[in-house]
Structure 1
Amino acid sequence: MSKKNTLIKLITDKDFRWVYMGRKSFFNYMPDEEFLRKKYKHQLHKDLNLDNPKDFNEKIQWLKLYNRNPEYVQMVDKVSVKDYIADRIGAEHIIPTLGVYDKYEDIDFDSLPDQFVIKCTHDSASTFVCSDKKTFDFKKARKKIKSSLKTNYAMLGREWPYYSVKPRIIIEKFMVDESGTELKDYKFFCFNGEVKCFSVDFNRFTNHRANYYTPDFELLTLGKKLCPPDPDQKLDKPQHLDEMIRIAEQLSAGVPFLRVDLYNINGQIYFGELTLFPASGFSPFVTDEWDRTMGDWLTLPAKTPQN
């Protein structure tokens, strides 16, 4: 976005202004609860009820404030989580790591294969897929990743585990599924160790969509506005769906809510990531009914003290 367009949006769009100012650290002085109440109001246009939360997005905010399991820090770090996963389901489910770096300048791209995936270890919006080094936009990747390394990601949504994650860069092996061009992302929504639904993300780098299904692969009307479903897109039932559900439930046992992301490459299941707070609890559903339904699925635990 040009500087002129940014200025216009800052003047005319209060929601954009709030997000922009948050990324510029204007609200870092606010205590977590005050910040979450204000951002929830700006993003979802309703008050946040923390005394008796009902909706899924409300309960995600509650979990940020009152569910402080120290194990969550390892679970969200894109480097250390690999050991966590290997210990629980086996190293064969881990996508190979090609390198971990503190600075972008430390990377020797000449030594890397022609295809790879590069991203930061502490956020969710700095992933770049290199399918061909001859055409890869290194300048764009460098600018974004260097900016991300300087960003205190925890402050953007007060996702407290990220306060303890060291910002680094990880490069992984490039992987594709049967499409030959991408990896379908299977996201399993787990509530106290039980998969209640899952989404299949497709066309991630062109026209990103996500369809939601029951564990029996029945299409749901569930969807998020930022990545809407496409009911006309008829997807085949994933291979070894039962095994993916088993893995997701094993990894999420004992956690009030956890989204477990997996890939399926010719029947071989690979781990993607663990997400405690999808979209930081600020992404509106296509219909409010689903926000309430998923909220009903989420049983909140006893409060744990904040540090």
Structure 2
Amino acid sequence: MAVRTFPASSRESVVEFVKNLVRYLPLSKVLKEKLLFYGKMGFWPNFDEPRTFSEKINWRKLYSSNSVYIRCSDKLAVRDHVRQKIGEQYLIPVLYSGDSITAEQILELGDNIVVKANHDSGSTCIIEKNTPEKAAEVAAKVQRMLKTDFGRITNQWWYSKIPRRVYVEKMIPGDETGVPCDYKFFVFKQPDGQPSRILIEIDYGRGTSNHHRTFYDGERNIVEHLGQPIQIDDKPNLRTPFPGIDNYDEMKQAVLTLAEDFDHVRIDMYEAEGKIYFGEMTFSDGGGRSRCHPHEFDYVMGDLWMLNREPGGPERPDGVESNSPKSKAEQMLRATHRNIRTLAKKSADTISAGFERTLRFFSLPYAMVCLVEWNECKRNPILVFWDHLYIFFVLKYFPDNYASCRLWEVDRKEWKYYYGTGYDPRAIRRRSRKVMKPEYSIVFEDKEVCYHLCESFNLPLPVQYGAISPEDDFAETVRDIFKNHDAKRLVIKLVDGAGGKGTCIVQKEPDQLVVRQISDPTRAIMPENHSVSSRAVIQEWVNQHPDVSRLSGRALNTVRMVTMLTPEKDVIVIGAYIRIGIGSNFLDSGNHGGVGARVDVETGRLGERTSDGRGRAIPFKPDAHEKVSDVVLPDWEEAKTLAVRVQKLFGPFNRFIGMDIGFSENGPVLVEVNDIFDCGRFESVTGPILKNEKVLKACQKYGLITHNRLK
């Protein structure tokens, strides 16, 4: 049966319908903005205590009342402001302005003109060749815009206060596309007299299929974050060098002069034929809903903005306060107002958390019926259900570890020492807040970024030959690697893949190259018939130590080691277990049929019990041993030393990580570093992590304990 999908135009229509529905529903402005923000950005915002650039834009929209925004957002009134600040010479000549305009008036103004409304964004009409038809079309569009309350639709109140007018400018010369180069200066005032910080966005090829943009700093250097180009709303960033203009310093000084009254403003400038022109001032770039990649750059821009939290009056960066009694009284009143809002927000968060727990409560039958292995669990089903209720209400986490950790065999007094699942949304958020800043998640989620960071730390790593994208020729890329390097086997991992998703290997067999996918490792396909679904890294397969290969020679058998950096800056190796590939699988994870065995942290000896990803006991006989417990991992002390070193180096990013370590003939190698790992799976093999007193004390200090039995 064929799968039906919406065409792109239909999807866009549906999205626009939903956005308009939210805008016109009888909801509060704050809730509307949060819903629209979530729909575009993919995460629930915090407008009361904003951290990202996008959240701070929305704070300005919702809570600021600075009347200067009205004057400076009015594209006609702002000309007087520019004239006073930097001079008439930077203004584009205006050919007409009025309350309305007719097609005849537009036609009389001739060719190469730009028609705009003064109270909105996006209504610009460029007329290169003026005709009666074009003039009528533009006049009709402008009349519609003059009837539209742009400020109410976008919740940017200052636009609603602008008297609506239409005006016509002379078109300034453009590049080969006919459009002049637009320099968007994001200016952030800094406290204590420090120089303002500047970011510059330049769009290239606007109006063409090759529309792309690049970000620069105030010194015209290309800005990247963690080695990645900055992309806004999915527009490509081709790392285009800054245009070679001679009057950049003059342009920059003009911008700084215009921006000196604001904690943040975006100022658009043009350069044409050696002359600089002012474009506009914007106080809510993208309406506060511009998607940023990497997402963490939204936090970087937010950190640059020293947001003045006073709703009205002259803007001042944090730390620069007025000493007048009236100002002090206002500050006290506003502080009280903020405290009330914070209290209301906490109440709303409590309600939201309660709703989420209600949904999780109704999932308890699933955990009991579908996750428990009833052929192994001989406990009375009524008592099992009671156990689930105890974990949910007393220990306060979702009991999907009940089956994998075989808690029916464990004394209930010991249950409090289990941290619980690592994939419960509440547990993930709690850990992220307490031990990792959200902006650092890219360090762990992007394998390319993580590898280069580890490389800079001089950690032992698999050889990496680069990265490949879907548009690259897969066959040509891998053949070149085998031709130019002494590689026998390659492993290709998606940059953002988790749990082995999309992983494949390429190897010589015996006179040709073949690709084997994780979805069907027994099937060999030619490189010409394969491609990656998204950007992926290409690494050489680790030449595994013979003692570890005897467990399973087909897979790279890695040790999952979990560590914690305590508040006292000591590193605890919490525990470890080895993942062993089974059958024809070349991956060792439980998601792909692998089994796990506990590793004694002191000696490196494997435990007797082997289990699958759901904690079920799976009898396993190694390739060259009588039993698993005969195996002692080679270079175990080196592996522990490596784990401690990794945790110390990654401590500024995350104080509670799980890493995968492989064992090569030359010693341990770091294969992967994870910020979110499955605690339920880990504890099903190694036992409860809170049984370790040092771990318990650290978790208590970090606020990671959910229930009162150990607080």
Which bracket does the TM-score occupy, shorter chain normalised? 0.7 to 0.9
Q: RMSD of the TM alignment (CA)?
A: 2.6
Amino acid at match of 1:252: A
Distance in 2 (CA, whole Å) between partners of 1:26 and 1:107 is 36
Residue 108 of structure 1 aligns to a residue whose secondary structure is: helix
> Distance in 1 between the 2:133 and 2:184 partners?
28
Question: TM-score of the superposition, structure 1-length normalised?
Answer: 0.87
1:203 corresponds, among 202, 205, 225, to 205
Note the C-alpha offset of 1:70: 0.7
In the superposition, the TM-score normalised over structure 2's length comes to 0.39
- 2:271 maps to which residue? 264
Structure 2 counterpart of 1:61: 58
Kindly state the Cα deviation for residue 190 of structure 1 after the two structures are TM-superposed: 0.3
Q: Retained in 1: the 8 A contact 2:102–2:139? A: no
* SS of match in other structure, 1:137: helix
**Contact 2:99/2:166, CA 8 A, preserved across alignment:** yes
1:39 paired residue number: 36
Look up the equivalent residue of 2:235 and give its one-letter code: C
**1:179 CA drift (Å):** 4.5
Residue 160 in 1 paired to residue 152 in 2? no
- Measured after TM superposition, the shift of residue 7 of structure 1 is 10
Q: Secondary structure at the match of 1:59?
A: helix
Match of 1:230 in 2: 238
2:17 matched residue in structure 1: 17
Q: Shift in Å at residue 275 of structure 1?
A: 0.5
CA distance in 2, matches of 1:187, 1:145: 25
Structure 1 runs not aligned, ≥5 long: none
2:72/2:78 contact within 8 Å kept: yes
Alpha-carbon deviation of 1:115? Answer: 1.6
- Aligned partner (choices 248, 252, 270) of residue 245 of structure 1: 252
Shift of 1:142: 3.3
In the alignment, is the contact (CA less than 8 A) between 1:195 and 1:249 conserved in 2?
Answer: no
User: Cα–Cα, structure 1 residues 30 and 107, in superposed 2: closer, same or farther, change >3 Å?
Assistant: farther
Which residue number in structure 2 is paired with residue 219 of structure 1? 222
4+ long deviations beyond 6 Å: 4-7
Match status 1:103 vs 2:106:
no
Q: Which moved more, 1:125-134 or 1:80-89?
A: 125-134
The 1:47–1:115 alpha-carbon spacing in structure 2 relative to 1, beyond 3 Å, is: same
The one-letter amino acid of 2:113's match is F
Partner of 1:51: 48
CA distance in 1, matches of 2:146, 2:27: 22
Aligned residue identity for 1:285: C
Q: Identity across aligned pairs (percent)?
A: 25
Q: 2:220·2:242 contact (CA, 8 Å) conserved in 1?
A: no
Say whether 1:295 aligns with 2:302.
yes
For the Cα contact (< 8 Å) 1:200–1:212, is it kept in 2? yes
Distance across 2 between alignment mates of 1:132 and 1:106: 14
> Residue in 2 aligned with 1:138?
135
Equivalent in 272, 293, 304 of residue 286 of structure 1: 293
SS of structure 2 residue aligned to 1:270: strand
Q: Secondary structure at the match of 1:172?
A: strand
Match of 2:585 in 1: none
Distance 1:288 1:8, change over 3 A: closer
Higher relative contact order (CA 8 A, sep 6+): 1
1:174 Cα offset (Å): 1.1
| Post-superposition offset of 1:226 | 4.7
Alpha-carbon deviations, 1:78-125, whole Å to 9, x = none? 111111111110011000111112223376134213220001111111
Quick one: distance in 2 between partners of 1:10 and 1:95?
Answer: 35
1:72 paired residue among 69, 73, 93 = 69
Larger Rg: 2
Q: Which residue is 1:124 aligned to?
A: 121
Distance change in 2, residues 1:70/1:287 (3 Å): same
Distance 1:34 1:127, change over 3 A: same
State how far apart, in whole Å, the 1-side matches of 2:99 and 2:311 are.
Answer: 33
The residue aligned with 1:26 is: 24
User: How far is 1:298 from its partner?
Assistant: 0.8
Distance 1:58 1:132, change over 3 A: same
CA distance change for structure 1 residues 302 and 104 in 2, over 3 Å: closer, same or farther? same
Q: Does 1:89 align with 2:51?
A: no
- Contact 1:228 / 1:286 at 8 angstroms: preserved in 2? no
